[in-house]
Amino acid sequence: MLWTAQLPAVQLSDDQRFNTYTIWREVKKAYPERTSALAMAMIANAWDESRIENVCSTTEDSCGLFQLYAGGNEVAKRLAAESPDGRLNPAKNTRGIIELLEQSGQQVFAALDRNATVAEIAGIFRRDVERPFNPEAAGVATEQTARSIWPVYGNTRADDLPDLRWVWVPLSPGQLALAAAVAAGGLYYMKVKR
């Protein structure tokens, strides 16, 4: 059984869907009481940064869902130094941006506390946590992105959003193959070690 949550109203590949659920899962672990609004805002940011794809920029040393820049902060430098590059692991990239949120996201938390909309939270997140070249303009653009990819929820206040729920979620063929391989490896390990 897996939990599910709202997906953005854009066409997503299996990998993008997996990455979206990874963001939801990591936000739920870090902020269970604020998951929906924060995750939706972060997903809007990931859409603007990488189209929720696990890629590296062709113009600078930025990688992953949130395009963490290796020359920027200590979190990105630490992840970039891993082999393979930790920024390309969707869960690590999301945990890295959550670390940055904890360092510089005071206005994001203030927006959550004052029951701002998902779009407002997304714009503040982009401006204060992602810190792009032109933060004000990028924040406004991400507010528009949030309204676009979350047409039902973009203008919804944080406290009015639905919570995550546990349900059965159909897996893609690739995800089923991975689960089967992991299970087979575990069974083999248990049989050999006993």
Return the HEC string of 161-174.
CCCCEEECCCCCHH
User: With bands split at pLDDT 50, 70 and 90, how would you rate the model's confidence at 191?
Assistant: low
Query: How much of the chain, in percent, has pLDDT values that exceed 70?
Result: 82
* pLDDT of amino acid 120: 98
Q: pLDDT at residue 103 above 50?
A: yes
Q: pLDDT at residue 184 above 70?
A: no
pLDDT 10s digits, 137-175: 999 999 999 999 999 999 999 999 877 554 445 566 676
Residue of higher predicted confidence among 142 and 190: 142
Q: pLDDT at residue 64 above 60?
A: yes
Please tell me whether the peptide bond between 84 and the residue prior to it is cis, using omega within 30 degrees of 0: yes
Q: pLDDT at residue 37 above 60?
A: yes
C-alpha span between 183 and 35 (Å, rounded): 30
Q: pLDDT at residue 186 above 80?
A: no
Q: pLDDT at residue 4 above 70?
A: no
119: left (phi > 0), else alpha (psi -120 to 50), else beta?
A: alpha
* pLDDT of amino acid 183: 66
Q: pLDDT at residue 111 above 50?
A: yes
* pLDDT of amino acid 107: 98
Residue of higher predicted confidence among 38 and 76: 38
* pLDDT of amino acid 104: 95
Q: Which amino acid does the sequence have at 168?
A: W
Residue of higher predicted confidence among 99 and 171: 99
* pLDDT of amino acid 33: 85
C-alpha span between 27 and 29 (Å, rounded): 5
* pLDDT of amino acid 141: 97
